[in-house]
Amino acid sequence: MKRASAFLLVAAAFAGGLAWGQDKGGGEGDYDRLSLLERLKNVRREVKVIDLDTALKRVPDVVESAHEHRALLEQMQAAVKAGREITPLLEKGRTLKVALLDELNKLLKLHKSKFRGLSEKQVWERLKAARFEDVHYENAWLVNILDDLEEEVGINIEIDARIYKFDTVTFDFEKTSALALLQTLADGLLFKWIVRGDTLYVYKERHEILFGGEWLAQKKAAWRARKLALDKARKEAEKRALEGSESK
Amino acid sequence: MRWLVVLAAAGAFWAGAGLAAGTNAAEKALVEELVHRQDMLEGDVEKVGKAAAEVEEIRKTRAAGEYVLNDEEKRLEKRGRVDFHIFLERIRNDTLEVLQIYDRVLHKQAYVDPMEKLYGRALHQIVSVQWEDLPLEDVVGELSESYGVPIDIQGLIDYRKTMSLEGDMSLYSILLYIESVYDATLVVKGKRLFIARLGHEDDEDAEGDADK
């Protein structure tokens, strides 16, 4: 019993399904033909793993920051209603979010390339100035193209965990620019990008990720349906076998 | 004369009131947008907070009973750790976008892409295009009309060159593609966009060769 309750607790806390990952799973595209080892050999970027101990300590601050921001927004709504100036409240909100971004980046171990420390303007200048000739990629992994961009343009690129790094891309451009390449990738693979500080963040838009008990509930429903189908098939087979023996 | 002064004062008053009303409406819209984003975020924050509290609870249970996870539970734990990471990244990405809003209204952006200033959010909206061997003028005409931003072609652009483009892509991609194909530069001046090509080393070489 203790084991069962502990299992439920573990499941409740940890179980989750990555909808996007599930969409991608199940064998389509060239990347599925490649072994995991081959894939890993080709991925140059280091694998980031969240430090759970640090996360557990810092998450309450993240939650607290969200509550503070909500309170601030309520003050803003009241100020707008009363026709009062809201700029000081906006400044407070921004300060709160700047601190939160800093906190989350520490927690999420921001990718550390050699191009950290540039100003936002420098990042944009480099991005706009970089032009390439004869760009050929055939079934290349997104992560590797972004790493090439990072190296060629000389900027730090941070990739969201939800970006499927093994998405394959084929390009053939006589002439192109870094910005055009990035925007083409973003349009094709449906991701967004933002330059903030010294980093270009490449990320997926909000979408449904099942979390908590939701994923487990779905899995259980699927298991139950499969069990029912198997039971039904077994019973039918038994019935057919019985009818066969009777006819003999 | 006195009437004129009174009229001028009344006009100034109404203009001021109108301005204030406009500002108030803009502020209201801004706060509404921030509230909407906060509403979307709060579900994630709650889930992450709850997950963190539950992990602490599990750790206590395991420490007390020397509980050992079976393979299925280990798999779930690994997956849970990935999801935890993903949710925190989702909160980080949302924070980035909200910060963009704050920076814009408080004029604190270190750099604003002029193209973004010109087209706003429409720049990144995906549209379907199907152009086959179209002259640049036609493409530019269609874009100018569709987005309400006049585009001018300037300089040594090869007008005879046609372009083909097909698929779903953003306006930004289209414009950057034109920039690459015609070896041009996109320049924003006021409310207009210029696709310009001013002098080029290759051209000078070509001219030099022609002289010889």
pTM of the model: 0.73
CA distance B182 to B108: 35
Closest-CA residue of chain B to A68 = B38
CA distance A228 to A39: 38
Same domain? B92 vs B181? no
CA atoms within 13 A on the CB side of B179: 22
How is chain A split into domains, by residue range?
A: 50-108
Same domain? B25 vs B97? yes
Same domain? B155 vs B181? yes
Q: Which domain holds residue B142?
A: 116-202
Same domain? B47 vs B81? yes
Same domain? B155 vs B131? yes
When divided into structural domains, chain B yields a total of: 2
Confidence band, pLDDT 50/70/90 cuts, at residue B206 = very low
Q: Which residues pair with B156 in a beta bridge?
A: none
For A168-202, what is each residue's pLDDT tens digit? 888 888 889 999 999 999 998 888 999 999 999 99
Same domain? B99 vs B6? yes
List the single residue in A13, A108, A192 with the smallest CB-CB distance to B54.
A13
Same domain? B49 vs B123? no
Give the distance from CA B99 to its chain's centroid. Answer: 13
The pLDDT > 90 percentage for chain B reads 41
Domain assignment present for residue B209? The answer is: no
- What pLDDT, on the 0 to 100 scale, is given for residue A89? 96
pLDDT exceeds cutoff 90 at B58: no
Hey, CA dihedral for B108, B110, B116, B117, is it positive or negative? positive
B101 DSSP 8-state letter? H
Same domain? B55 vs B83? yes
Q: Residue B212: helix, strand or coil by DSSP?
A: coil
Complex confidence, ipTM: 0.75
Pick from B91, B87, B109: nearest CA to B100:
B109
Domain assignment present for residue B54? The answer is: yes
Domain termination residue (choose one: B47, B77, B105)? B105
Domain assignment present for residue B45? The answer is: yes
Contact A209 B90 (CB under 8 A): yes
Pairing of strands B192-197, B151-155: parallel
Domain assignment present for residue B61? The answer is: yes
How many C-beta neighbours within 10 Å does residue A134 have?
Answer: 9
CA distance A194 to B135: 33
CA distance B94 to A226: 38
How many C-beta neighbours within 10 Å does residue A118 have?
Answer: 17
pLDDT exceeds cutoff 80 at A41: no
Same domain? B140 vs B92? no
Reported as type and span, the H/E element at residue B58 is helix B2-65
CA dihedral B43, B109, B185, A177 (to 10 degrees): -50
B9 token code pair: 């004062």
Interface of A with B in 200-219 (CB under 8 A): 201, 203-204, 206, 209, 211-212, 216
Report for A14-23, A25-34, A84-93: range of highest mean pLDDT: A84-93
Reported as type and span, the H/E element at residue A36 is helix A36-42
Domain assignment present for residue B208? The answer is: no
Same domain? B69 vs B127? no
| A242-246, B20-24, B61-65: range with lowest mean pLDDT | B20-24
Domain assignment present for residue B212? The answer is: no
For B72-128, what is each residue's pLDDT tens digit? 777 777 777 777 888 888 899 999 999 999 999 999 988 888 999 999 889 988 899
> Which CATH number belongs to the domain containing residue B193 in this structure?
3.55.50.30
CA distance B111 to A196: 9
B23 and A CB contact within 8 Å: no
Domain termination residue (choose one: B67, B83, B105)? B105
Domain termination residue (choose one: B59, B85, B105)? B105
Q: Residue B207: helix, strand or coil by DSSP?
A: helix
- What pLDDT, on the 0 to 100 scale, is given for residue A154? 95
B181 to chain A: which residues are within 8 Å by CB? 175
The position carrying tokens 């006819």 is: A247
Same domain? B7 vs B101? yes
Contact A93 B126 (CB under 8 A): no
